[in-house]
Amino acid sequence: MRKICLALLALTAACSSAPPGGAPAAKSYKIAVIPQGATHEFWKSIHAGAIKASRDLKAEGVDVTVIWKAPLREDDREQQVQVVEGFLAQGISGIVLAPFDRRALVRPVEEAKRAGIPTVVLDSGLDSDQVVSFLASNNHRGGELAAEHMAKLLSGKGKVLLLRYQEGVASTEAREQGFVDGIKAYPGIELISSDQYAGGTRDTAKTAAENLLNRYGNQIQGIFTPNESSTSGTLLALEDVRKAGKITFIGFDASEAFIAAMRAGTLHGIVVQNPFRMGELGVRTMVDHLRGKAVEKKVDTGVQLISPETLDAADSQQLLHPPLAKYLEAGPGGF
């Protein structure tokens, strides 16, 4: 009992010692960061970026805590809706969200706003004007970059194949559309299949790619895949059916395996985003908003094409190797 009294005293003392008008500097912020999933490296980079922002802000004297919470299943909108809803009652200051779906998450986000919790949206768009800011790569531009690079490598003629990711994901749909639009500028290049989907995991992507390679493998000169899992699965399939290196292959997103594949000449380019920056800016934008500063409604966090030739350039290396280990704890696997 006495301890509680003392604690209360200390608390009231702390509050009353703050200058009138409530200078935000003394406040502490709890910010929930909600990705689409947890296991892809992309989300790890956003996580690391968010942690970096919180540490830097702490050094600047702003107390920010980042709560990282991924939905349990990675392909389930309902789960993500539940995660957002779960935060509403937890006394958090703001939400940084990478919505799985441009519509399903609108209701919980607007409810959060009514409850006084603002949302910053990352990566994939949301059909709502109630959000503080939208930070994303220009995905359509990313698809165009891939198309331009493909055209260059094929010298403007040939047959290519687009293996899509999954139905209803705004970011990858924009990349796919960007690629389709980009290819139109080259009349010598024909897109012979663009209606097949890789599905949610590497395994489904590998299966789909194997099946398509059997059907079209002898006709095509190029393949484009719009995200990490579809690129990874297709790369495995190309290696397995001994077509790796023989078909021009451009993927999206970064991983160690892709870098190795580019060095081995089996992958001819990747379009990368800057998820680390996305996570960092997401948290910073939210804190700025909470502290009453004006923020941009839309922020392009940048896309860039990395080819085997530009692989070792300093800016490429920074994109490819965000300092994950510095900010994230390893699992019990401890690798």
Partner 1 sequence: MRSTTLRRLAPFVGLALVILVFAFLTGAPAQYLSVPNLRIVLAQTVIVAIGAVGMTMIIVSGGIDLSVGSTIALTSVAAALALHRSWPPVAAVTASIVLGGLVGAVNGLVVTRLRVVPFIATLGMLGVARGGAKWLAGEMTVPAPETWINELAVTFPSRAWMVVAPGVWLALILAVAASFALRRTVFGRHVFAIGSNEVAALACGIAVARMKIAIYSLAGCAFGLAGVMQMSRLRQGDPTVAAGLELDIIAAVVIGGGSLSGGQGGILGAMIGALIMAFLRNGCQQVGWPNYIQEIIIGAIIVIAVALESRARERGQGVR
Where along the sequence are the contacts to partner 1 (CB under 8 A)? 37-41, 44, 70, 73-74, 167, 193, 195-197, 199, 201-203, 206-208, 210-212, 214-215, 232-233, 236-237, 240-242, 256-257, 329-335
By C-beta, is 70 or 126 nearer to partner 1? 70
Q: Tell me how far, at minimum, the Cβ of 153 lies from partner 1, in Å.
A: 25
Distance CA 49, CA 29 (A): 17
Q: Tell me how far, at minimum, the Cβ of 238 lies from partner 1, in Å.
A: 10
Q: Tell me how far, at minimum, the Cβ of 239 lies from partner 1, in Å.
A: 8
Q: Tell me how far, at minimum, the Cβ of 211 lies from partner 1, in Å.
A: 4
Q: Tell me how far, at minimum, the Cβ of 89 lies from partner 1, in Å.
A: 24
CB neighbour burial string for 284-296, b if at least 16 within 10 angstroms, e if fewer = bbbbbbbeeeebe
Residue 133, classified by CB atoms within 10 Å of its CB into exposed (0-12), middle (13-18) or buried (19+), is buried
CB neighbours of 4 closer than 8 A, spacing ≥ 6?
Answer: none
By C-beta, is 119 or 227 nearer to partner 1? 227
By C-beta, is 128 or 231 nearer to partner 1? 231
Contact 71, 36 (CB under 8 A): yes
Tokens in use for 1?
């009992």
By C-beta, is 43 or 179 nearer to partner 1? 43
Angle 20-23-24 from CA coordinates, rounded to 5°? 145
CA nearest 227: which of 272, 168, 180?
272
Q: Tell me how far, at minimum, the Cβ of 174 lies from partner 1, in Å.
A: 20
Q: Could you count the other beta carbons within 10 Å of the beta carbon of residue 253?
A: 24
Distance CA 252, CA 136 (A): 15
CB neighbours of 304 closer than 8 A, spacing ≥ 6?
Answer: 145, 271, 272, 274, 315, 316, 319
Q: Tell me how far, at minimum, the Cβ of 241 lies from partner 1, in Å.
A: 5
By C-beta, is 242 or 298 nearer to partner 1? 242
Looking at this protein, which amino acid is placed at residue 325? A
By C-beta, is 236 or 283 nearer to partner 1? 236
- 239-243: long-range contacts at Cβ-Cβ below 8 A with a sequence spacing of 24 or more? 239/266, 240/206, 240/210, 241/210, 241/213, 241/214, 241/217, 243/213, 243/217
By C-beta, is 151 or 161 nearer to partner 1? 161
